[in-house]
Amino acid sequence: MRSRADLDRRTTRSAAASDSAAAVDLAPYLEAKFALDERSLNREVLHACTDRLTAKDGMIRWLDVGTGTGAMIRRLLAQPWAASVTVTALDQAANLLGSASAALAAQLQSEGYRVLVHSRGFEAQQAGRHVFVEFQCCSLFDFEPKRLPAYDLITAHGVMDIVPVKPAIGHFAAWLAHGGMLYASLNYDGDTALFPLYRDEAFEAAVLAEYDASMERRRVSGKATGGSRSGRRVHAALCEANFNVLVYGASDWNVTPVAGRYRDRDTEVLRTLLAWIRSESELRPAMDRGELERWYATRQEQLEHGELGMIVHQLDLLATIERNGSRVYVESTC
The string of pLDDT tens digits covering residues 226-237 is 999 999 999 999
Which tens digits make up the pLDDT trace of 82-91? 889 999 999 9
Rounded Cα distance, 152 and 178, in Å: 8
pLDDT of residue 80: 86
Share of the chain above pLDDT 90, in %: 84
pLDDT of residue 21: 32
301 to 54, 304, 306: CA distances (angstroms): 47, 5, 9
Residue 47's nearest CA partner among 299, 229, 277, 318 is 318
Which tens digits make up the pLDDT trace of 248-263? 999 999 999 999 999 9
Q: How confident is the model at residue 67 (pLDDT cuts 50, 70, 90)?
A: very high
Residue 268's nearest CA partner among 23, 96, 35 is 35
Q: What is the mean pLDDT of residues 89-108?
A: 97
Q: What is the mean pLDDT of residues 206-223?
A: 96
Q: How confident is the model at residue 300 (pLDDT cuts 50, 70, 90)?
A: very high
pLDDT of residue 324: 64
278 Cβ contact list (under 8 Å, min separation 6): 207, 292, 295, 296
Give, in degrees to the nearest 5, the angle at Cα 247 between 241 and 248.
90
pLDDT of residue 22: 34
Computed over every residue of the chain, the mean pLDDT equals 90
81 Cβ contact list (under 8 Å, min separation 6): 50, 53, 54
Rounded Cα distance, 204 and 143, in Å: 40
Which tens digits make up the pLDDT trace of 45-55? 999 999 999 99
For residues 167 and 65, the answer to whether their CB atoms sit within 8 Å is no
Q: How confident is the model at residue 29 (pLDDT cuts 50, 70, 90)?
A: very high
Which tens digits make up the pLDDT trace of 167-186? 999 999 999 999 999 999 99
pLDDT of residue 227: 97
Q: How confident is the model at residue 146 (pLDDT cuts 50, 70, 90)?
A: confident
For residue 13, is pLDDT > 90?
no
Q: What predicted TM-score, i.e. pTM, was given to this entire model? A: 0.91
The DSSP annotation for 249-279 comes to EE--EEE--BTTB--TTHHHHHHHHHHHHHH
pLDDT of residue 57: 86
Q: What is the mean pLDDT of residues 95-99?
A: 96
pLDDT of residue 333: 56
For residue 193, is pLDDT > 60?
yes
Q: How confident is the model at residue 247 (pLDDT cuts 50, 70, 90)?
A: very high
For residue 282, is pLDDT > 70?
yes
Ordered domains of the chain (ranges, CATH): 26-190+221-253+313-322 (3.40.50.150)
For residue 157, is pLDDT > 50?
yes
pLDDT of residue 25: 74
pLDDT of residue 8: 45
For residue 31, is pLDDT > 50?
yes
Count of other CB atoms within 10 angstroms of residue 36:
23
